[in-house]
Amino acid sequence: MRIPCPHCGERDVSEFRYGGDATKKRPAHGTGDLKAWHDFYFLFDNPKGPHLEYWQHVLGCRQWFRLERNTATNEIGEAS
């Protein structure tokens, strides 16, 4: 699998680190609603199909970015 880093161009997956679902919204700072925090931290949509996720080019420019990837095929889409 090769991933297009927005900074460095297309590189092998071994240079990158996965960072989880990028569509999750962190509850507002100071929110005391434990249910909101639980759902944010512990629940996953985990779709079989298109997924927007965070990656870090950890052995390159170290930039974090969002990547579209299909979890059923590993087909790579846009990075932003």
Q: Interface with other proteins includes 17 (CB under 8 A)?
A: yes
β partners of residue 12: 2
16 CB neighbour count, 10 Å cutoff: 20
Q: Mask of contacts with other proteins, 18-57, x by CB under 8 A? A: x-x-------------xx--xx-xxxxxxxx--x-x----
How many CA within 13 A on the CB side of residue 64? 7
CB of 18 to other proteins, least distance (A): 4
- φ and ψ at residue 34, rounded to 5 degrees: -65, -30
Which residues in this chain contact other proteins in the complex, by CB under 8 A? 1, 12-14, 17-18, 20, 34-35, 38-39, 41-48, 51, 53, 71-74
